[in-house]
C-alpha cells in the first residue's frame, strides 16, 4: 500500500515524528459481525500492517503500538492464548517484510510472563531489524505505565543503596533513561481508536505534552487513510508546551 504525504497547511505544525496508538475495538468489530473475538484480533493485525506501511510517507519516524497490556492477562485464558498465538504468527511472518522495508522493531514491557519460545522470537526479531534505518516500530507488550514508573523508582532505590546515588542528582532526564523508552523520543500524538477516550495506563510519563486524537473507527477498520486524517488533525493544532 502506498500513501501520499498530506501537506501541512501554512502556519501549522509539521507532521508528528512519533505517533503512539492504543489499538482498541477488535472485540466490538468481531461481535458486530457475529464472529469470535479472535477474528477481530486477526483483522487488527492487518490494520497494523496498513499503518506501518503508511507511516513513512506521512513523515512519521517512530510508531509505538499498544499491543498487550499488563492487565490483559485477566482476560479469559482462551483469548489470552489466541492473542499470544497471533503474536507468534505476526513475528514469524512479518519480520522478513520489516527487514525488506527498513523497519526497526523494538519490544517494550516486562518480559517475565512470556514463554521462552516467545522471548526467543522477541530477541530474533529485534536483532534482525536492529541495523534498519527506516521507521522505528515499537510494540508495547505486557506493558503498563504505572508499572514502568515503579520499576524506575525501584532501580533508583537500588542504585542509592548499592552506589550511594545522591537523590539530588535525579532529574527528568535521568528518570527517562530508566524507562523502557529510554532511547525513543516522546510521542507527539496519541491516537486511540474505537471512540473510547481514555489513555489506559499507556506511556503516562512520555505523554506529558502529546496531543490526543480519538478516532471513532474500530481498530480492525483503521487504515493508512485514517492515520493520515489523524496526522492532519494534529497539524491543525497549536502546540505551546506551557507557553503563551
- Residues tagged in the binding site annotation for Mg(2+): 24, 211
Task: Give binding residues as ranges.
Answer: 24-29, 37, 41, 69-71, 73, 75, 192, 198-200, 211
Asked if residues 43 and 26 have their Cβ atoms less than 8 Å apart, the reply is: yes
Cell numbers given for 11: 502556519
Pairing relationship of beta strands 62-69 and 18-22 according to DSSP bridges: parallel
What's the rounded Cα separation, in Å, for the pair 230 and 224?
A: 10
Measure Cα distances from 61 to 8, 27, 105 in Å. Answer: 16, 29, 12
Task: Give binding residues for substrate as ranges.
Answer: 25-29, 37, 41, 69-71, 73, 75, 192, 198-200
What's the rounded Cα separation, in Å, for the pair 178 and 120?
A: 24
Residues identified as active-site = 24, 72
Amino acid at each position: 500500500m502506498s500513501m501520499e504525504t498530506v501537506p501541512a497547511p501554512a502556519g501549522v505544525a509539521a507532521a508528528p515524528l512519533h505517533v503512539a496508538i492504543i489499538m482498541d475495538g477488535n472485540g466490538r468489530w468481531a461481535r458486530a459481525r457475529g464472529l469470535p473475538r479472535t477474528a477481530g484480533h486477526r483483522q487488527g493485525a492487518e490494520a497494523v500492517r496498513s499503518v506501518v506501511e503508511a507511516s513513512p510517507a506521512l513523515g512519521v519516524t517512530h510508531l509505538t503500538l499498544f499491543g498487550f497490556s499488563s492487565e490483559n492477562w485477566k482476560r479469559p485464558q482462551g483469548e489470552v492464548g489466541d492473542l499470544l498465538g497471533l503474536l507468534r504468527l505476526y513475528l514469524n511472518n512479518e519480520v522478513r517484510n520489516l527487514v525488506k522495508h527498513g523497519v526497526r522493531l523494538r519490544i517494550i514491557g516486562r518480559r517475565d510472563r512470556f514463554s521462552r519460545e516467545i522471548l526467543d522470537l522477541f530477541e530474533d526479531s529485534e536483532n534482525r531489524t536492529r541495523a534498519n534505518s527506516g521507521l522505528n516500530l515499537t510494540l508495547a507488550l505486557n506493558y503498563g505505565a504505572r508499572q514502568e514508573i515503579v520499576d524506575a523508582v525501584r532501580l533508583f532505590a537500588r542504585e542509592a543503596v548499592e552506589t550511594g546515588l545522591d537523590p539530588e542528582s535525579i532529574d527528568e532526564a535521568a528518570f527517562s533513561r530508566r524507562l523502557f523508552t529510554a532511547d525513543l523520543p516522546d510521542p507527539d500524538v496519541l491516537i486511540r481508536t474505537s471512540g473510547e477516550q481514555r489513555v489506559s495506563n499507556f506511556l503516562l510519563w512520555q505523554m506529558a505534552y502529546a496531543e490526543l486524537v480519538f478516532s471513532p473507527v474500530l481498530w480492525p477498520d483503521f487504515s493508512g487513510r485514517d492515520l493520515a486524517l489523524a496526522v492532519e488533525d494534529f497539524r491543525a493544532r497549536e502546540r505551546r508546551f506551557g507557553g503563551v
